[in-house]
Chain A
Amino acid sequence: MKRFAYFPGCMIPARHPAMEFAIRETLAKLGIDIVDLEGASCCPDPIYFKSKDKLSWLAVAARNLTLAEDLGLDIFTNCSGCTATLSETYHLLQDEDLREKVNQRLARIDREYRGTSRVRHIATLVRDEVGYDKVRESVVRPLEGLKVAIHYGCHLLKPSRIMQVDNPDNPEVMEKLVEALGASPVRHRNWYLCCGKACQGEEIPNQMMHDLLATVNEEQADILGMICPTCFGQFDHGQMKVAKLFEEDFSTPPVYYFQLLAFAQGVPYDRLGLERQRFKPNCLRRYESQKSAAEVTSSASAGSGS
């Protein structure tokens, strides 16, 4: 088992515990040993907190990184916002003057940032430490024929020099992860567009969401494949708002990737908290009524009962 310190952040453990459940469930099956990071605070968030005071933002983030340094482990995140904050901190604190300033504050709590723990987003952790093939092998319920519109969001990929996740103009990690489930990834025309959550105005993000959902709709995708909990909120609760505002029915349920993976690995639909979403991915239920490949093999019966 490979061991990594888990930095869950605020959004997923508090607002979307089903996502945390799915992460713990799926990573165990993929041979990743999760070490909980005791004493972690909010990353802190790269939008609101950072806009208030960059230096305090860095100091709190550096404190979180020292928790993993104490354990001698690399950190993995499940939220693009946390990834942005912690990766940017790792990057910025390579500057000696800035590191000195931050360490002066950390000295108050007997801590020192050393820069010895790397920050990995869970998607890259699975890509680089597990591999797509092993993900495919863990699937007992291939999601054949399921069209998944990919939404990368912004902070997973950009700024690419700092995040070092994938090519921001032509990424493939999400497509490959979705393909490993047997599903078909769809890159819609507005795949590059931001969810708009960080914009404080209303009109700009509403129009953006509308245009994004419209192109997803054109592709007749079954679900929207999500990797960021903030984008997820926009596309679940926010989709309702936008649909009402523009009097259009897009009805594309967003699904966080690791819940989809858990489902493909055989976790029952009803245990995944999907019924709590505003837009429920009921289309997944058809895979539950099919016998899984494993079940078919064990009962030595022919046919897959489509």
Chain B
Amino acid sequence: MASQPDKNDVVRVDFAFKRELAEKIEGDLASYCYQCGACVGDCPASTYSDGAFNPREIMLMVLYGLGDELIRKGSILWDCTNCYNCHERCPQQVKPVEVIISLKNMLADRGFAPTATEKVITTFEETGRTVPPNPAIDKQRAKFGLPPLPPVPMEEITALFEAANDEGGAK
């Protein structure tokens, strides 16, 4: 694992990174990690990347405050399959996947989220749905005797986003 050596070759803990992560929902859980590695054995992203993706190592980077390793463009964090096996296995209830998602929130705050993620958010902001409604969908639904997709009260959705903005951005 690469580190950020200073002139004395000592790892520098990025406390600002740790504080920012701790403000995210369940972002501070990594503090309880004692590096047992129970999360690794059942991690499909680890198995299928020959260990390149390693939830234990990710938790260690968080503990060491090595923010630069994780918070950057093309971060390995996006390889997580969100299978929740690590959440299930962790004896400390660290919920590594939740810490990883909180780290992804930090990536998104910096504009480093993958295009697919940004696209889903935009579609939601515009339509209140992940799959935008269109006449072809309603035609298919009619074939099964189903009514058109019901409308989403967008004024409510928009108000929720405005509330988030007024709070000074995502936390």
Contacts and interface: CB of A to CB of B under 8 A. Distances in A.
Contacts of A158: 83-85, 87-88
A263 B63 CA distance: 53
B159 A108 contact: yes
Interface in A183-219: 192-194, 196-201, 203-205, 207-208
Binding site secondary structure of chain A: helix
Contacts of A94: none
A50 interface: yes
B128 interface: yes
Contacts of A44: 124, 130
Nearest to A193: B44
A196 B78 CA distance: 12
B11 interface: no
A199 B45 contact: yes
B48 A208 contact: yes
A194 B97 CA distance: 14
B83 A154 contact: yes
Interface stretch (A6-14, A130-138, A242-250): A6-14
A2 interface: no
B101 interface: yes
B84 A155 contact: yes
A169 B145 CA distance: 39
Contacts of B56: none
A59 B164 contact: yes
Given A39-B152, A158-B88, A105 B79 contact: no
Given A42-B124, A193-B44, A201-B79, A21 B146 contact: yes
Contacts of B87: 158-159
Contacts of A50: 101
A54 B157 contact: no
B108 A196 contact: no
Nearest to B48: A204
B160 A105 contact: yes
A182 B89 CA distance: 35
Interface stretch (B12-20, B28-36, B65-73, B114-122): B114-122
Interface residues of A, number: 62
B163 A204 contact: no
A40 B152 contact: yes
B81 interface: yes
Nearest to B155: A109
A50 B49 CA distance: 24
A56 B84 contact: no
B25 A54 contact: yes
Given A56-B161, A201-B79, A207 B48 contact: yes
Contacts of B42: 192
Interface in B109-133: 113-114, 116-118, 120-121, 124, 128-131, 133
A41 B113 contact: no
B84 A204 contact: no
Given A49-B121, A54-B25, A208-B48, A198 B163 contact: no
Interface in A150-175: 154-155, 158-160, 168
B129 A51 contact: no
A60 interface: yes
Contacts of B140: 17
B170 to A, nearest CB: 4
A45 interface: yes
Contact of A41 (B45, B48, B129): B129
Contact of B128 (A42, A109, A208): A42
Given A53-B108, A106-B160, 10 more contacts: A36-B150, A48-B130, A49-B124, A49-B130, A51-B117, A109-B160, A159-B84, A196-B44, A201-B49, A205-B81
Interface of A: 10-11, 13-15, 17-18, 20-21, 24, 36, 38-42, 44-56, 58-60, 63, 92, 98, 104-106, 108-109, 111, 154-155, 158-160, 168, 192-194, 196-201, 203-205, 207-208, 273
28 contacts: A14-B131, A20-B141, A21-B144, A41-B128, A44-B124, A44-B130, A48-B130, A52-B105, A53-B170, A54-B25, A55-B171, A63-B156, A63-B160, A108-B160, A108-B162, A108-B163, A154-B82, A158-B85, A160-B88, A193-B44, A194-B85, A199-B45, A199-B78, A201-B78, A204-B81, A208-B81, A273-B143, A273-B144
